[in-house]
Structure 1
Amino acid sequence: MKESSLNILNRIQLNYKKLSKGQRLIADYIINNYDKVAFMTASKLGEKVGVSESTVVRFATALGYGGYPKLQKELQEFIKTKLTTVQRLELSSDYNDEEDILKKVMKADVENIKKTIEETDAYVFQSVTDIILEAKKVYILGLRSSTVLAEYLGFYLNFILDDVSVVPSGINDVFDQLINIDEKDVIIGISFPRYSKKTLEALKYAKTKRAAIIGITDSNYSPIKEIADFTLTARSNMASFVDSLVAPMSLINALIVGVSMKEKDKITSTFKTLENIWNEYDIYLKNRD
């Protein structure tokens, strides 16, 4: 396994014998307190462990990171799947100032979108739109907070494609809805921390039926990455206990537009028909003179 694909705890284990005495103290503290270290500065960590800030910086370099901020960023990604909702709420000290909450939350969302743009692979994005268009049937699965994303994606893809099904999480079990999935179909699995176990199980089942698997998730550490044929990632850095779904929604918007532009003639005809129906049944508020 390449070192770049290891999480921080794996890296510590791999390099432990090479570390200095002071660096081992840091390593031991991180192993036992990684949820706290993720939000500590290098100086604060050094103070806690009893070593200098420069020792902390050298420790990060010894593990293969380009400085302490990159180590800290990876720790924050790593703990997303580990923290309970209560722990996330307790760690949200940055959001205690009521007057500043609006700016901080919205700036975090803007930053999530910027990072998503930078990290999205154009080839993967185009491949995903092609797979969706070529599929006999498109299944969309998103549970818990991801339900809203799945419903939104399904709402618009139903205007473009002939057979789209948003897998519900209601009375019938998810697996009941996937009983007929096969190699001609595609399932889009949407999952963000804390990752739904049932979503992952359903995608694994679809894989046994040889369906194409597309994942929409938050990072390369997501368990969906190991299952999906193609994965689109959108940053979802936490703001308190709330999942930030702004960047995922923006990515899904782009996906809808990407698919629609390849079926422009078809959807133009569809919307002309729908406009007549909407007018006939008075669906939308009419413009006032």
Structure 2
Amino acid sequence: MTIYEEIKKRFHRLSKGQRKVAQFIIDNPRTVSLHVAAEVGRQAGVSESTVIRFCYAMDLAGYTELQTMMKEYILQTEPTKSRAYGSNAKVKSIQKNASSLMNEDAKLITDTIQLIDDEQLAMAAKSVDEAQHIYVLATVATAPIAHWFIGTLEQLHPSVTLLHDSHTYAQSVQEFGPNSVLVVLALDKQATECTKLSESAQRKGVEVITIADTALSPLRTHSSYLFAMGTKQKSILNMTPVVMSFLHTLLQCTIAQNRRKYEQYQKEGVQEGKPELRLVTTFQ
């Protein structure tokens, strides 16, 4: 369900002022995506607080989440060249030119940048940096991405676990503690199966970082931080470069929290026979 469909579904339950906000959003999605709540309120003829109350009436965390959803909606509905990526005609044309394929990936990544809140990303990276144990939850479809992420994390952190079957789910719920972080890769229909584990993790004080295809993911109510990739209409194959780029960014932001610590851990790992991946500044 898109943000537009959600607004129309709840429209009759909104107050008169909130309905004015709803109609303005439907008519002016780009304005909402670009301007602060006060300006949207001014143009809609209501107060800033009415705009904020509208967000709460939509079960959103605030205006920032509304903006993220609007940006995602715009990216998914605008008739750009990248939206035709899956068509047979487009595939035939890009088969002749590798650079065109890579430019399509770059375009999707650039689009996704608009959906990422830098402050939320910094806080998520801080949580990963301070975690005593990091869990990564994946579905069958996202397992290849998760394996890369886990393999990289193991070069930076001493305690990392991949959750990919019911046995590890049950065992890990017992181990969850308030100093743990759960990273959820929720990019396909199977992601709804992750909801119960995410809910259990939050109840135990675990910071849950969800990477989802859409800001309207059912996991958003059980996430400390949710990052929408804006890839709901794309296949897992097309999503992969976008998600890998984001995970790489999350790792770099984590390293930036305490670069010296990660340099030392990497150095010790090489001395123990682990491969030198040069994830951080090369040491002497």
TM-score by length of 1: 0.62
Query: 2:204 — aligned with what?
Result: 209
Match of 1:198, SS? Answer: helix
Query: 1:127 — aligned with what?
Result: 123
Distance in 1 of aligned mates of 2:117 and 2:91: 37
Distance in 1 of aligned mates of 2:130 and 2:259: 15
The answer to whether structure 1 residue 138 and structure 2 residue 134 are counterparts is yes
* 2:27 counterpart letter in structure 1: Y
Distance in 2 of aligned mates of 1:105 and 1:128: 31
Tell me the CA shift for residue 241 of structure 1.
Answer: 7.4
- Give the superposed CA RMSD: 3.7
Change (3 A) 1:101 1:241: farther
Per-residue CA shift, 1:43-80, capped at 9, x if unaligned? xxxxxxxxxxxxxxxxx978723379x99x749969xx
Tell me the CA shift for residue 251 of structure 1.
Answer: 0.5
Tell me the CA shift for residue 155 of structure 1.
Answer: 1.5
The answer to whether structure 1 residue 100 and structure 2 residue 93 are counterparts is yes
Unpaired segments ≥5 residues, structure 2: 13-21, 34-69, 78-83, 276-284
Unpaired segments ≥5 residues, structure 1: 17-59, 79-90, 282-289
Q: Percent identity?
A: 13
Contact 1:218–1:234 at 8 Å: present in 2 too? yes
Q: 1:20-169 residue pairs with structure 2 within 5 A?
A: 64-66=26-28, 74=73, 94-96=87-89, 98-102=91-95, 106-169=102-165
Contact 1:15–1:63 at 8 Å: present in 2 too? no
Deviates more, 1:98-107 or 1:253-262: 98-107
Distance in 1 of aligned mates of 2:197 and 2:204: 11
Match of 1:144, SS? Answer: coil
TM-score by length of 2: 0.63
Tell me the CA shift for residue 15 of structure 1.
Answer: 5.7
Distance in 1 of aligned mates of 2:236 and 2:150: 26
Tell me the CA shift for residue 273 of structure 1.
Answer: 3.9
Distance in 2 of aligned mates of 1:277 and 1:67: 54
Distance in 2 of aligned mates of 1:129 and 1:13: 36
Tell me the CA shift for residue 224 of structure 1.
Answer: 1.9
Contact 2:112–2:229 at 8 Å: present in 1 too? yes
Distance in 1 of aligned mates of 2:191 and 2:253: 27
The answer to whether structure 1 residue 184 and structure 2 residue 164 are counterparts is no
Distance in 1 of aligned mates of 2:102 and 2:212: 20
Tell me the CA shift for residue 123 of structure 1.
Answer: 0.5
Alignment size in residue pairs: 219
Distance in 2 of aligned mates of 1:112 and 1:166: 27
Tell me the CA shift for residue 111 of structure 1.
Answer: 2.1
Contact 1:236–1:245 at 8 Å: present in 2 too? no
Tell me the CA shift for residue 207 of structure 1.
Answer: 1.7
